[in-house]
Amino acid sequence: MASKWSYISRTVPNDASIKITTPLINLRGSEPTYKAFADQITAKREIQRDRREHMTQAASTLQEEVTPELSKAMDLASQSGASSWLTSLPIKEHGFCLHKGAFVDAMALRYGWTPIKTPTHCACGAAFVVDHILSCPRGGFPSLRHNEIRDLTARLLTEVCNDVQIEPELQEITTETMSGRSANTTIGARLDVAASGLWGGRRERTLMDVRVFNPFAPSNRNTTLDQCFRKHEREKIRAYGQRVREVEHATFVPIVMSATGGLSKQATNFYKRLASLLAEKWDQPYSTTLHWLRCSLSFSLLRSAIQCIRGARSSRGHAMKMSPVDLVIAEASLQQK
């Protein structure tokens, strides 16, 4: 009896070879012509299109039969750049390497499995599951994940832009009126990164704000990835878009990405522009530079996710806090010696 997964492996390998070589076979020993090569290229494109359609149909059929959790994991893995860590060479100097335990955890996150050898409960008392552990604020790991993406972006911007700043303070709002109710009008509000010259003008200012969301969180669990990206982008734009545009006279870019990889539309355009500038400066092909940039982001997110799973959240091992009285006594003892 045929397996229910047989449609995935349905291929006819000889048909593709015959279709591609037919224009050359028809020459029958005569000199190759432009039409023969053009027909061969057309045949290759048709085969590639048929394969893409076949794989898309197979993936859609498979997602209808698997669990919702695994279906969401498949969507996450299919995002642009989300699987870069799995296909890149393990070059240590670029940070593209994982030890065996981290690789096992990475595969568990990729397929929505429960990581092995984990405690039953988090340090905060909740059950130790991926849905919770990627968002638990205990230990500050979500903030570290955010800061790593922020610092990586700022470090790359310094290669091609001027006046790059981390956490620039926004100007105070005086007589300006913000139309949105959720607009951030607080004094001392800050964004993550600022740079000049990103979009062409040397003095044109661009302000960016990073958000890394957990796609397995209860608030995102029942929505598609596209809806999650749009929701978080709109929240950032409502909070800072008008203020940056009308008070700072700058361009605002929300950099939204999921904790397991994948970028929003505006974040994708931003990193493509950054890769284009880096490729021009480093004299490297654009495709190679973009792949390297996606690998850097992918490994950064992956290491942060693994740290959320394996990092210590308890107070054990932290430095002891001394009271002012103890500190005075300790200083007096040192002076006497």
Q: Where are the domains of the chain?
A: 7-65, 130-170+189-310
Residue 319 exposure: Cα atoms within 13 Å on the Cβ side: 3
Cα torsion at 139, 221, 302, 199 (round to 10°)?
Answer: -100
Q: Which of 311, 293, 206 has the alpha carbon at shortest distance from 257?
A: 293
Residue pLDDT, tens place only, 127-136? 998 889 899 9
According to DSSP, residue 172 is labeled P
Give the Cα separation of 223 and 231 in Å (integer): 10
Q: How far is 290 from 296, CA to CA, in rounded Å? A: 10
Question: Does 211 have pLDDT greater than 80?
Answer: yes
Look up the pTM and report it.
0.77
pLDDT higher than threshold 90 for residue 236 = yes
The string of pLDDT tens digits covering residues 8-37 is: 444 455 778 888 888 777 777 677 777 888
**CB within 8 A of 277, min separation 6: which ones?**
159, 160, 161, 198
pLDDT reading at 82 higher than 50: yes
Three-state DSSP at 195 gives: strand
- Nearest CA among 89, 74, 120 for reference residue 261: 74
Indicate whether 254 pLDDT > 70.
Answer: yes
β-pairing, 193-196 vs 251-258, is unpaired
Mean pLDDT, the chain, integer: 85
